[in-house]
Amino acid sequence: MHRNLTEMKNAMWIVLLFCGQVLTAQNILLNKVEKTHTNQDKVLYKIDPEAAAAEYLGEIEVQGFSDNDVEVFGKIYAKAKQIGANAFAVKPFESVEGGAQPFDPAHYRLSLSYLPFADFPPENNAVYLIASPHNRQSVAFNKETIVFEPRTFIRRELLPGTVYTVSTKKFLGSSIRLSAQENQPVQYFQFSAFSVNSNPYGTAGINLKSGDITRLEQSYAQFLTAIYRQLE
């Protein structure tokens, strides 16, 4: 009898564990395909949803939350490339009262498009500083101290003639220096990010890690700025 009770308890734990996994599971669905586009583009950039030159291809729906942003983006990237998308935009759900619902990182949609590379608007001499997905952290941007909550970011413009120092303010922490240059493309950095050596989705991903400051590839970084909250 004791053996039967033990087996029943073990079975109950297995059922509870399975139910918990189902409840917390994340689904990433390519739930709408309008058309496909044949191209060799490796990028997947964020665009204005009203971009006139963008050719709408389909839609991805993300159901459930995961804090593994690299894995989530890898799955989104793979599905986007199935239909030839090189651009995305957050597509808000409509509320019952009308208008767009606030962004929910546990349930959101991304519209997928193709945009000729020449039509992506340039963003020069700007830097995005992106928080860790897990840790609250104070960062010095020149004389300004910025407190980052997890999953937040800021955007700052780099002005000619000024050298900017970004420091994590930790003992033996990292620091980087930035300055404006002619036609310098936008830069993205994340603090205390995951270290990734190989990218499962082509050339997109994390690279150039220096201590606890990581320079991000643009496709992945723009995905983070789409699902993280911007600080003023």
CA distance linking residue 158 with residue 164, whole number of Å: 8
According to the model, what pLDDT value does residue 18 have?
42
Q: How far is CA 165 from CA 139, 152, 168, 177, 203, in A?
A: 10, 20, 10, 5, 28
Please answer whether residues 51 and 19 qualify as being in contact, where contact means their C-beta atoms are separated by less than 8 angstroms.
no
Please answer whether residues 60 and 28 qualify as being in contact, where contact means their C-beta atoms are separated by less than 8 angstroms.
yes
Tokens read off for 61: 């729906």
CA distance linking residue 210 with residue 179, whole number of Å: 18
The secondary structure element, H or E, covering residue 213 is strand 213-216
pTM of the model: 0.82
Per-residue pLDDT 10s for the chain (232 aa) are: 545 545 554 545 444 444 444 445 899 999 999 999 999 999 999 999 888 899 999 999 999 999 999 999 999 999 999 999 999 999 999 988 888 899 999 999 999 999 999 999 999 999 999 999 998 999 999 989 999 999 999 999 999 999 999 998 765 568 999 999 999 999 999 997 444 444 545 545 444 454 589 999 999 999 999 999 999 8
Please answer whether residues 113 and 51 qualify as being in contact, where contact means their C-beta atoms are separated by less than 8 angstroms.
yes
